[in-house]
Structure 1
Amino acid sequence: MTNTWLQSLALVESMIPLLGKLGREHSVKVQLAGQTLMADSVTGLMGIFDKHPELDLTQVYQVLEQALASPSKQRVLALEALLAEADVQSILATPSSEGETTPVVLYGFGRIGRLLARRMCALGHTTPGMYLAAIVVRKACDNDLAKRASLLKYDSVHGTYDGLVKVDDTNQSLIINGQAVKVIYASDPAQVDYASHGIKRALLVDNTGRWRDRDGLNVHLQRPGIERVVLTAPGKEMKNIVFGVNDGDLTKSDRIVSAASCTTNAITPILSVLEKKFGIESGHVETVHAYTNDQNLIDNIHKGDRRGRAAGMNMVMTETGAAKAVSKAIPSLEGKLSGSAIRVPVINVSIAVLSLTLKEATSVEVINQLLQNASNSAELSGQIGFSAEADAVSSDFIGSEQAGILDSLSTKVRGNQATLYVWYDNEYGYSCQVVRLMEKLAQAQLESESVREEQAA
């Protein structure tokens, strides 16, 4: 990069309104090596460009100007492809589609539900092909709307939401950055008629974890206005999708899919890279996991063994199906991995310890370089992060958008025996993965609608 720091800063500041207009007016998301260029933070953009010193930021600005002047039909623009093309207009020749975007319904508004809302409604961010239309919850108190708004705005872990949240009691809605989001009160999915609220062909995301099989989730599909369902937990009798690894397995006929678990999303991309390069004979995954809402704060009755003991003052041994679930995304690892978990007294960010027997010998340097390259690739930059910080601790990874981050200084290798340590924000990192899956499903739905319209014409 030939620009001085201040010149670079000025150019990046000038890109903010261009990225904002591309998202707001054209529903276009711009990415560089798989990372979204957000219009809400100069610092965030500077951090991304700092990883690519070969870029001429003046040329980047010019390309963004051209993209805004001649919007593309595509919902996602790869900046490197635009920069490499001598004639940018050849990519941007077709006017953008005017098709309707897919409404999203969040069924449940707990830790994951609220973070999905934050991610979808972030200032300067666009979620191609979809928008947040409604939230379904049980009414908890008389001033429930105000409580929901406050919990969205203020969060002990992730800080104050950088957006505007207002309450519209008359229309029973939250106004998030100017977008009205209907709040529907119901204790059972069979009670809701989404079409009566003007919601049609919606993507519903079930964050409750109450139903994890096809029959239970199918109740959502039977309701007027719902087209597809995503489960934010491991699912039975459905595809468990780890975005970046097996999302290519999705078909238009998949109307109920699982986004798997936070741990499965954290470890699967890294395991996929190692399996492809070396092959994995066997392994064990030990996850040291932040405590969650399903544990008791003080000792009390609990349906799960040990989870009834005080979460804030104990390390709690428990079980996890995350290791076995990896094989749903990487079939070649079927029966090769075992797993267990320890819940510990931290409120967020977990770490997975991968103890692996590879099919060939290697070294710390080779594995770290392999995964660092993967973290910079367009295919897996959103899934794999890379840390080489000597003083890194768990709280440093709060707010990480990657599914899992390799702690490269902790990697151990002895012949074909490898031990890797993978940090992950089990709340926000996972939520980012869910939104990526939602974007893909929404875009696929829009494409199928476009085909139907063309056939009808």
Structure 2
Amino acid sequence: MTDDRKRPRPDDYFSDWKEREALAEAMIPVVGRLSRERNVKCYIYGRSLVNQSVLDIMKSHRWVRQMEANELSEFETAPVLEAVSQLDLGPCHLDIGRLAVAYYDKGAGEGLTVEEYVAQELDYLVGSTHKPVDEPVDVVLYGFGRIGRLMARILIAKTDGGDSLRLRAVVVRRGKAEGRPAQASKSLASRLCARRFSGHDSGR
């Protein structure tokens, strides 16, 4: 089996992990600030970094190996994200993973520093005031089942800037009052049955 790695293996995997973990942790406030203040949403190969934990961000880096010859390193995305944060970008969705892979693995921006490369690639977004819609649009979500909750999470994640879609209300159907006691009784019976079979009920 061939080894697709282009980078040397670390001598100390634990130290390498801790360093990458620290870099991922440092990305969180930068990603959040870009999202809230400039409506710039950062991604790694389609996976959002907004409101993600340290481990979620690290998993997104590992996931890149599904599309490229190698996984992505936090040592590569951290300088790209820092360069992005220094630019006066307008609202956009930005894949820092693809920028990092293009620069470090595919030879894009040869002869340029990472800051110069990022500035060159994103020049058309600097100073942009373009918005998806002219005025913010209020959204009322009908239904709060599995799909409704998923849609609510997506809408909330995309309203940091407040200049596109705003989730204003969730409409749910009123439950049948006569069905509630029976449902509660069934739930109580199930719990009692589970206690007896698990040996926690004394039989009294």
Structure 1 length as normaliser, TM-score? 0.27
Give secondary structure in 2 for the equivalent of 1:29. strand
Match of 1:279 in 2: none
Question: Kindly tell me: are residues 129 and 36 of structure 1, through their superposed partners in 2, closer, same or farther at Cα, counting changes over 3 Å?
Answer: farther
Higher relative contact order (CA 8 A, sep 6+): 2
Unaligned runs of 5+ in 1: 142-296, 299-457
The reply to whether residue 78 of structure 1 matches residue 95 of structure 2 is yes
* Matched AA of 2:127: P
Give secondary structure in 2 for the equivalent of 1:67. helix
CA contact (8 A) 1:22 1:29 kept: yes
CA contact (8 A) 2:45 2:98 kept: no
Structure-2 separation of matches of 1:101 and 1:75: 16
The reply to whether residue 118 of structure 1 matches residue 153 of structure 2 is yes
| Equivalent residue runs for 1:113-192 within 5 Å | 113-122=148-157, 130-135=164-169, 137=171, 140=174
CA contact (8 A) 1:28 1:128 kept: no
The size of the alignment, in residue pairs, is 142
**Alignment partner for residue 127 of structure 2, among 89, 95, 118?**
95
Structure-2 separation of matches of 1:135 and 1:24: 21
The reply to whether residue 64 of structure 1 matches residue 81 of structure 2 is yes
| Equivalent residue runs for 1:367-382 within 5 Å | none
CA contact (8 A) 1:109 1:135 kept: no
CA RMSD, 1 decimal: 3.4
| Structure with greater strand percent | 1
Shift of residue 113, structure 1, vs aligned partner? 2.9
Structure-2 separation of matches of 1:125 and 1:5: 33
The reply to whether residue 108 of structure 1 matches residue 142 of structure 2 is yes
Structure-2 separation of matches of 1:125 and 1:64: 21
| Equivalent residue runs for 1:189-338 within 5 Å | none
Shift of residue 44, structure 1, vs aligned partner? 0.9
Structure-1 separation of matches of 2:159 and 2:52: 7
Question: Kindly tell me: are residues 136 and 81 of structure 1, through their superposed partners in 2, closer, same or farther at Cα, counting changes over 3 Å?
Answer: closer
Structure-1 separation of matches of 2:129 and 2:98: 20
Shift of residue 136, structure 1, vs aligned partner? 5.7
Shift of residue 137, structure 1, vs aligned partner? 3.0
Shift of residue 32, structure 1, vs aligned partner? 1.8
Structure-2 separation of matches of 1:70 and 1:107: 35
Shift of residue 39, structure 1, vs aligned partner? 3.2
Match of 2:23 in 1: 11
Structure-2 separation of matches of 1:36 and 1:69: 20
Match of 1:42 in 2: 54
| Equivalent residue runs for 1:411-426 within 5 Å | none
* Matched AA of 2:122: L
Structure-1 separation of matches of 2:166 and 2:82: 28
CA contact (8 A) 1:38 1:125 kept: no
| Structure with greater helix percent | 2
Question: Kindly tell me: are residues 106 and 5 of structure 1, through their superposed partners in 2, closer, same or farther at Cα, counting changes over 3 Å?
Answer: same
Shift of residue 138, structure 1, vs aligned partner? 6.8
CA contact (8 A) 2:39 2:90 kept: no
* Matched AA of 1:91: E
Structure-1 separation of matches of 2:25 and 2:36: 18
Q: Deviations over 1:277-297 (max 9, x none)?
A: xxxxxxxxxxxxxxxxxxxx9
Q: Deviations over 1:396-443 (max 9, x none)?
A: xxxxxxxxxxxxxxxxxxxxxxxxxxxxxxxxxxxxxxxxxxxxxxxx
Question: Kindly tell me: are residues 125 and 48 of structure 1, through their superposed partners in 2, closer, same or farther at Cα, counting changes over 3 Å?
Answer: farther
Match of 2:195 in 1: none
Shift of residue 126, structure 1, vs aligned partner? 5.4
Match of 2:201 in 1: none
Shift of residue 131, structure 1, vs aligned partner? 3.0
Question: Kindly tell me: are residues 125 and 40 of structure 1, through their superposed partners in 2, closer, same or farther at Cα, counting changes over 3 Å?
Answer: farther
Unaligned runs of 5+ in 2: 1-6, 11-15, 65-69, 104-108, 110-116, 176-181, 184-204
Q: Deviations over 1:149-183 (max 9, x none)?
A: xxxxxxxxxxxxxxxxxxxxxxxxxxxxxxxxxxx
Structure-1 separation of matches of 2:22 and 2:118: 24
CA contact (8 A) 2:43 2:93 kept: yes
